[in-house]
Amino acid sequence: MKSILNIFFLLLSLSLINSPIIAQEEMPEMTPEQKVWIDYMTPGWAHNMMAKSVGEWKTETSFWQSPGAEPVKSEGSVNNKMILGGRYLHSEHSGNAWGMEMNGISTTAFDNTTEEFLNTWIDNLGTGLAFSKGKYDKENNTVNFLGKMVDPMAGKEVEFKQVLKFIDDNTQMFEMYLFDDGKEFKMIEMKSTKK
């Protein structure tokens, strides 16, 4: 209950800060709890990095059905925008996968407290949701995600790895790996070029 009251008073304080009726000097000093919430909700360096992805992108994708198989190639597009005050990257994908039309939506977040990137993925080729999280590798300019999703063929959750590399402001490379008998194999490789 106390944390709910703290959130209420924080939101009330924030609304009063922006109010023209009350001068800044009249605002009471923030409590330590309010300061924590302000830090948690304020977009930072990672959100600015995600914002560089805003816009229309052309994609070139290769899919592998199994280790050693020939890749199936396709082209598509991604439309990226920042939502909720620059806190989340919302991406809408369209293209083809294994000869079928594919439409997908992903949301990427950066949690200021855990310092982790979080990602959800849904598409019209399934009825589940994939969730992954990972850390930023500054040396390689990549985000390395680990996650889980349901494999309908196996009838259970499987683990996967994703690597998102920022080559430059107009080029990104995305790779997705599945694990087969403890060994990883590349399932998807997607190069995105800003239009």
The answer to whether 15 and 27 are in contact (CB under 8 A) is no
Task: State how many domains the chain has.
Answer: 2
Give this prediction's pTM.
0.84
* 111 lies in the same domain as 135: yes
* 154 lies in the same domain as 105: yes
* 57 lies in the same domain as 113: yes
Cα–Cα dist 176/172, whole Å? 14
* 144 lies in the same domain as 78: yes
* 19 lies in the same domain as 58: no
* 95 lies in the same domain as 176: yes
Domain span holding position 136? 48-194
Cα–Cα dist 147/133, whole Å? 6
- 107: buried, middle or exposed (CB in 10 Å: 19+, 13-18, 0-12)? middle
Sorting pLDDT into bands at 50, 70 and 90, what band is 27?
low
What is the reported pLDDT for 12? 46
Longest dimension (CA), the chain: 68
**Is residue 23 scored above 50 in pLDDT?**
no
Tally Cβ neighbours within 10 Å of residue 67. 13
Averaged pLDDT score across all residues of the chain: 88
* 28 lies in the same domain as 98: no
Mean per-residue pLDDT, 82-88: 98
What is the reported pLDDT for 19? 43
The CATH code of the domain that includes 89 is 2.40.128.20
* 71 lies in the same domain as 8: no
Q: What is the pLDDT of residues 130-143, one digit of tens each?
A: 999 999 999 999 99
Q: What is the pLDDT of residues 142-171, one digit of tens each?
A: 999 999 999 998 899 999 999 999 999 999
* 74 lies in the same domain as 30: no
* 142 lies in the same domain as 190: yes
* 88 lies in the same domain as 7: no
What is the reported pLDDT for 42? 96
Mean per-residue pLDDT, 101-108: 97
Question: Which candidate, 133, 186, 130, places its Cα nearest to that of 158?
Answer: 130
Question: Which candidate, 48, 54, 58, places its Cα nearest to that of 93?
Answer: 58
* 24 lies in the same domain as 52: no
Q: What is the pLDDT of residues 113-130, one digit of tens each?
A: 999 999 999 999 999 999
